[in-house]
Amino acid sequence: MGTRAMITRDGEPFVATHWDGYPDILGAEILKADCKTPEEIIEVAKCRDIDFIHKDFLKNVNQERYEDIAAKTDGKYTADDIAELDRKGEMLSFQIQTSHDYPIGTMDNYGDWPDYQYDLRDGKWFFRSCSGVWGGDNFKSDEWIELTEETVREN
C-alpha cells in the first residue's frame, strides 16, 4: 500500500502518484527539482509511480510505459503491440508484475484516496493532507501549507 498524492496546478488535477507521497519524500523532491513546468512535474512523479495523468500528457507518458512493458517480453511484443492490446482492454497478465506494468489512465476516471495534495500556484508549491475518495462526497482535506524546506522537515 502506497502513500498516494494528487498533484494539481491552480487546483486542477494534473497527475496522481501511487508511492511515497509524504512531504518529506515527494515534497522534498518537488522542491529539490524546483518543478515549475508540466514536464518537470512529470519527471518527479515518474519516480513515485504515476497512476493517472492529465489527458494532454497521457499519450507520451504511456508510450514510455508501453516500451518498458514490451522490453520485458524478450522481443515477443513491440510497444505498438502493447498499445494495441491496451486499447482493446487485453493487457497481458503474464507481464503484469508491478504497478509500472499497467498503462496509465486519465484523471477523468481517477477514484483513489490521496493522502496528500500538492498544488502549484503563482510559482509556489503548497500541500495538505487529505482523506476520502478524490472528488467524492467523503473527500476531506486540511488547510494548505506552503511547501518549504522547513515545512517538509516538520511534516
Domain ranges of the chain: 5-55+94-154
How much is the pLDDT for 96? Answer: 58
**Residues 49 and 19: beta-carbon distance below 8 Å:** yes
**Residues 5 and 45: beta-carbon distance below 8 Å:** no
Alpha helices in the chain (DSSP H): 28-33, 38-46, 55-71, 79-88, 149-154
How much is the pLDDT for 120? Answer: 96
How much is the pLDDT for 92? Answer: 61
53 residue type, one letter: I
Give φ, ψ of 57 to 5 degrees: -115, 0
Residues 38-65 as b/e (b if ≥16 CB within 10 A, e otherwise) read beebbebbeebbbbbbbeebbeebbeeb
How much is the pLDDT for 65? Answer: 86
**Residues 69 and 101: beta-carbon distance below 8 Å:** yes
How much is the pLDDT for 28? Answer: 93
Residue linked to cell 513546468 = 37
**Residues 147 and 19: beta-carbon distance below 8 Å:** no
How much is the pLDDT for 48? Answer: 78
Whole-prediction pTM: 0.85
Per-residue pLDDT tens listing for the chain (155 residues): 578 899 999 999 999 988 788 899 999 999 999 999 989 999 998 887 888 899 899 989 989 888 888 888 888 889 999 888 877 666 665 555 666 667 788 877 777 889 999 999 999 999 999 999 988 888 999 999 999 999 998 87
